Amino acid sequence: MSKTLTLYTRAGCPLCDEMARAAVALLTGSGHRIAPCDVDADPALKARYGWDVPLLFDGGHELCRHELNLAAVREWLRLNP
């Protein structure tokens, strides 16, 4: 069953762009996908995360913050084939 990870970002954030590229590359061929979410488009998300992006989540579980945690994403992929 494919799943969608949420990538909290903001426009013009180089770290966000870098994490998006790396996460998409890791998920390629897995059937899973990344759903980007601009924190600036939602006042509640902006208040919650502020400048603390990028963040990669599976539902309410945080996988990565600021940079891709390769081990965490590989473990997530192992548990979600």
Position 19 pLDDT exceeds 90:
yes
> What's the whole-number mean pLDDT along residues 60-71?
96
* β-strands 55-58, 61-65 pairing: antiparallel
For each of the domains in the chain, give its residue range(s) and CATH number, in order of start. 4-79 (3.40.30.10)
Reported as a single tens digit per residue, the pLDDT across 32-60 is 999 999 999 999 999 999 999 999 999 99
CA angle 20, 22, 79 (to 5 degrees): 100
Count the neighbouring beta carbons within 10 Å of the beta carbon of residue 49: 19
The token pair at 29 is 């061929």
What pLDDT is attached to residue 1? 84
Q: Is the pTM of this model over 0.85?
A: yes
Decide: residue 76, CB within 10 A, 0-12 exposed, 13-18 middle, 19+ buried.
buried
